[in-house]
Each structure stands twice: as structure tokens, then as C-alpha cells.
Amino acid sequence: MPLSRRDFLATTAVALGAGAIGLPTIATAWQQAEGRAPQAPPQWTPVFTDIRRGVGYFLGRGGTIGYLVDPNGVVAVDSQFPDSAPVFVAGLKERTKDRPVDRLFNTHHHGDHSGGNNAFRGVAKRVVAHERAAALIKEAAVRPNAAEQLVPDATFTDVWREEIGGDWVRAKHYGRAHTGGDAVITFERANVAHMGDLMFNRRVPVIDRVNGAVVANWVKVLELTVADHSTDTIYIFGHAGGTHPVTGSSKELLYFRDYLTALLDHTRGAVKAGQTKEQFTVTKPILTGFEDFGPHAANTLGIVWDEIVLGA
Ligand SMILES: [Zn+2]
């Protein structure tokens, strides 16, 4: 029997309600419903993890989602992809007893953080993002063949701050880093900060130079973020490598800062030594002291090379 999209979502919600989430089964059913042959099940399992004072994080497919669930207010930070976002929203509704989401924040424009926004249509009262991130999400939404998208309807340049539920929520742009429009979303009372893709924990980062990334400035942004928070702030990371955790302390932020500094130094060394970009980008280096990050692909090396040789 073919499943409608509504049935598919209902099945997902039931699975969540039962506490056992049969994602691979559901995905297979969905593929069959679309007339496609069943494929290998997706390698992801949705998990909600509470941190403190109603703030927690959700792992599915894509960038880590953050949330605040309070009797008087609900916030989501990022939306992953169109297939995982409805799973998050269904799980969130159970936790909030169908209370609307007061705010959806997008930490930046990338599709693994904002691609699922449309699942918040009729659910989130407002969608907030840095002005550059909002512009890029809107740009992607009007491309030919773009899927239906819910775009930010509120933007900020430097900082957005408001009281929601039992907490003060702050979205702050510390400067160009992973993109030109990154924001850190801080739950002040819970003392938890969502870093978006300003944090890749022990994983080679994506550097979106075309859309405003600057690695040298990323180093400063991490330092400003640590200075702006306290020693016991818990940070949520957009991504982590291997089995490394997606939450941590300022130690991880400063370790990542040191890694970025080492990557810049390594590249500057190659430029100084007279290597060409073509010679450098095929070297697949592993940086001493940062072995967890693994080898570097040509694309990453080329971007850092361009920043050093051509400027930001
Ligand atoms: Zn990103």
C-alpha cells in the first residue's frame, strides 16, 4: 500500500512515541512509496540528549540541532536536512506537549543546518538568522528546482537577545569565520552555547571562502567566544570527527583554534618554501599534534592557500 507523506510522518511520530525509532524501516517504506527500489538504510539514528535547564541537543543527519524546552518557551537551533527535520520536530512536540516553537535560529546558511527549515512551517513563530546567512538561505530557496523552504523572517547584524521561557537567548555574530554569517546561540541561564559550524571537533572543517569564510579571523572568533562565556559553559558543536563528542568545553574551542593556527602556519611554510599551489594541494598532510583530524584534501588546502596568497 503506498504511503502518503502524511502517513510517513505519522509512522515516524508513532515510532518516536514508542521510544524505538525504526528509521531504517521507515526510510525503506518511504523509498517504496516513491516507487524506488529499497536501498541500504541510512546510517543514522535520531537521539535527543538533555544537557541542563531544558537545553539539549539532537543528533540525526547533518549538523547538531540544539533545543530549549521550557513550560513557557521553546527554541530550536538549526534544522538539519528535509528528511531528518520532521523526525526532530515530532520528537520535540512530544516533549513540549505541542507548544509552538517560539524561535528557530539558523547558525548559518548551509543545507545541513537550514535545509530542514520547512518542517517548522506552522510550528515556529519566527526564524532568526544573521543577515548574511538569511540572505544566502533566501537565495538558495528561489533557485530553480529548489524544494519549498521556510526562510528567516528576522535578522540581526551583531547581536539578537530576548527572554524565552525561563532563559535569555542570545545570538551573536563574532565576525567572518566558517562563513560570512555565523552566529553563536547562547542560552545564558543554562550556560550552554551552540557553536554551529564554528566548531568541528577533531574533524577537518568546511571553509566556505566563496561565502565569506576567513580562517585567520576564525582563530579570533573562537577566542572572542571563549572570552564572552564562562569556564563552565557547555558548548554544542556543529560536527565532530569519528566518535569524538559533539559537546565540550572551552578546551575544545581553543584546541580547534590551535589546529587552525597550525593549518595556516603549515600553508604559509609551503608558500615561503616556493611550492606551487598545484604541488601543495596534493600533499595530503597530517599536522603534528593534530593527528585526530587526519589528512587534508586538496580542496581544503587550496582554500587556505588562496586566503594566504590572495587575501581574505
Ligand atoms: Zn557549515
Task: Give the pLDDT confidence of 38-50 residue by residue, as tens digits.
Answer: 555 557 899 999 9
Check pLDDT > 50 for residue 217.
Answer: yes
The yes-or-no verdict on residue 15 having pLDDT over 50 is: no
Residue ranges of the alpha helices (H) in the chain?
5-17, 23-33, 85-96, 111-114, 131-141, 215-227, 250-272, 277-280, 298-310
Q: Does residue 217 or residue 24 have the better pLDDT?
A: 217
Q: How far is the CA of 178 from the centre of ligand 1 (A)?
A: 7
Given the candidates 3.60.15.10, 3.40.605.10, 3.90.660.10, 1.20.1250.20, the CATH classification of the domain at 44-258 is: 3.60.15.10
Average the pLDDT over 105-132 and give the result. 98
- For the chain, give the percent of residues with pLDDT over 70: 87
pLDDT exceeds cutoff 70 at 27: no
Residue 117 Cα to ligand 1 midpoint, Å, equals 15
What sign has the CA pseudo-torsion 93, 60, 303, 143? Answer: negative
Distance 32 CA to ligand 1 centre (A): 31
Mean pLDDT of 116-121: 98
How much distance in Å is there from the Cα of 279 to the middle of ligand 1? 28
Claim: this prediction has a pTM higher than 0.75 = yes
- Give the end-to-end CA distance of the chain in Å, rounded to a whole number: 55
The residue that leads in pLDDT, 73 or 42, is 73
Q: How far is the CA of 18 from the centre of ligand 1 (A)?
A: 33
Q: Which residues contact 293 (CB under 8 A, 6 or more apart)?
A: 202, 203, 204, 241, 259, 286, 287
Compute the distance from residue 206 Cα to the ligand 1 centre, in Å.
6
Q: What pLDDT, on a 0 to 100 scale, did the predictor assign at position 44?
A: 85
Distance 304 CA to ligand 1 centre (A): 16
Spans of all domains in the chain: 1-43, 44-258
CA of 137 to the centre of ligand 1 (A): 12
pLDDT at 36 over 80: no
In the prediction, which pLDDT does 207 show? Answer: 98
Compute, in angstroms, the gap from residue 41 CA to the centroid of ligand 1: 25
- Mean pLDDT estimate for the chain: 89
| pLDDT at residue 240 greater than cutoff 70 | yes
How many angstroms is it from 204 CA to the middle of ligand 1?
12
Cα–Cα nearest to 181, from 231, 120, 139, 121? 139
Grade residue 32 by pLDDT with cuts at 50, 70 and 90.
very low
Q: How many angstroms separate the CA atoms of 12 and 224, rounded? A: 41
Q: Cα separation of 174 and 217, whole Å?
A: 9
Q: What is the pLDDT of residues 132-159, one digit of tens each?
A: 999 999 999 999 999 999 999 999 999 9
CA of 136 to the centre of ligand 1 (A): 12
pLDDT score at 21:
36
Average pLDDT over residues 63-77: 97
Question: What is the 129 CA–ligand 1 centroid distance (Å)?
Answer: 14
Average pLDDT in the 215-223 region? 98
C-alpha 78 to ligand 1 mean position (Å): 11
- Given the DSSP bridges, would you call strands 192-194 and 239-240 parallel, antiparallel or unpaired? unpaired
Looking at the predicted structure, is the pLDDT value of residue 6 above 80?
no
Distance 274 CA to ligand 1 centre (A): 32
Q: What is the pLDDT of residue 34?
A: 42
The three grid cell numbers given for residue 108, joined into one nine-digit string = 548559518
Q: Please say if the pLDDT value at position 80 is more than 90.
A: yes
Question: What integer pLDDT is reported at residue 41 of this predicted model?
Answer: 55
Res. 246: pLDDT tops 60 = yes
Spatial separation of the C-alpha atoms in residues 175 and 213, rounded to whole Å: 9
pLDDT value for 39: 53
Q: What pLDDT does residue 43 have?
A: 72
The answer to whether 234 touches 188, Cβ cutoff 8 Å, is no
Least confident of 28-32, 90-94, 289-293: 28-32
Per-residue model confidence (pLDDT) at position 297: 97
- Measure 205 CA to ligand 1 centroid, in angstroms: 8
